[in-house]
């Protein structure tokens, strides 16, 4: 996704527009999501995992209708755009990715989760793909803070799909319906995260996200 504007300069206006856009949408949300939000408020830790192409409706719903989120976003210009939106709506972000500043971002994310009891949100195949191939960040963080991973998908009834983007990014139309699918929270392996264990955890995460795809 190539954002053709300077996000920091226009962050307040973008946040207002984004919030208004999301509020026109009609969301169908399972009861399990409310249960996860309550459990987080009671001190249980969660890492939310989603695909990059479904970022708009899922992060939009979270930013507008939930509290206590922390977006882990890339240090790229596109990441700056996402961070500006989340921060403009009162959420927290940390910056870094698998290719730039990843270790620093995970350390900061851990501190924020422990200090403020926030749920970390990862587009697990971002920031540059390959599409629907999870990276390691959510897995590392979940193990290190004792959090469960929550896979979440979205299906928007009417949307623009950017077919030339690496992720085939989905932009739901205003006033459209969007259904969220929430998987059962699960714990990652307690074993040392060497490459073999990480490969198995990435496969496991992909399988759980793919299993949520609408019929």
Beta strand spans in the chain (E): 26-28, 46-50, 69-73, 92-95, 119-123, 148-156, 159-161, 170-172, 177-182, 186-187
The CA distance from 172 to 68, in Å, is: 24
The CA distance from 54 to 171, in Å, is: 8
Is the preceding omega at residue 178 within 30 degrees of 0, hence cis?
A: no
The CA distance from 9 to 22, in Å, is: 21
C-beta separation of 72 from 109 below 8 A: yes
Mean of pLDDT values over 46-55: 96
Mean of pLDDT values over 18-42: 96
- Whole-angstrom CA distances from 147 to 134, 136, 150, 188 are 17, 15, 9, 8
| Tokens matching residue 28 | 């169908």
Residue 127 banded pLDDT, cuts 50, 70, 90: confident
Residue 90 banded pLDDT, cuts 50, 70, 90: confident
Single pTM value for the model: 0.90
Mean of pLDDT values over 59-77: 86
All domains of the chain, ordered by start, with CATH? 11-210 (3.40.1130.10)
| Tokens matching residue 11 | 């962050």
* Chain Cα centroid distance, residue 185: 15
């Amino acid at each position: 996704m190539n954002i053709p504007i300077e996000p920091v300069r226009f962050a307040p206006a973008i946040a207002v527009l984004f919030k208004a856009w999301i509020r026109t949408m009609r969301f169908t949300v399972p009861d399990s999501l409310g249960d996860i939000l309550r459990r987080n408020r009671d001190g249980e830790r969660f890492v939310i995992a989603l695909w990059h192409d479904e970022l708009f409706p899922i992060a939009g719903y979270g930013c507008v209708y939930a509290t206590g989120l922390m977006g882990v976003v890339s240090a790229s210009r596109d990441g700056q755009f996402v961070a500006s939106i989340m921060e403009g709506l009162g959420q927290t972000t940390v910056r870094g990715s698998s290719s730039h500043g990843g270790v620093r971002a995970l350390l900061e994310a851990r501190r924020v989760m422990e200090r403020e009891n926030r749920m970390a949100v990862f587009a697990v195949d971002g920031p540059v793909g390959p599409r629907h191939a999870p990276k390691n960040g959510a897995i590392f963080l979940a193990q290190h803070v004792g959090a469960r991973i929550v896979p979440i998908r979205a299906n928007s009834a009417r949307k623009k799909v950017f077919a030339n983007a690496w992720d085939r990014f989905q932009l739901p139309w205003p006033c459209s319906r969007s259904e969220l699918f929430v998987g059962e929270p699960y714990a990652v392996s307690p074993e040392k995260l060497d490459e073999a264990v990480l490969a198995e955890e990435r496969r496991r995460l992909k399988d759980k996200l793919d299993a949520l795809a609408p019929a």
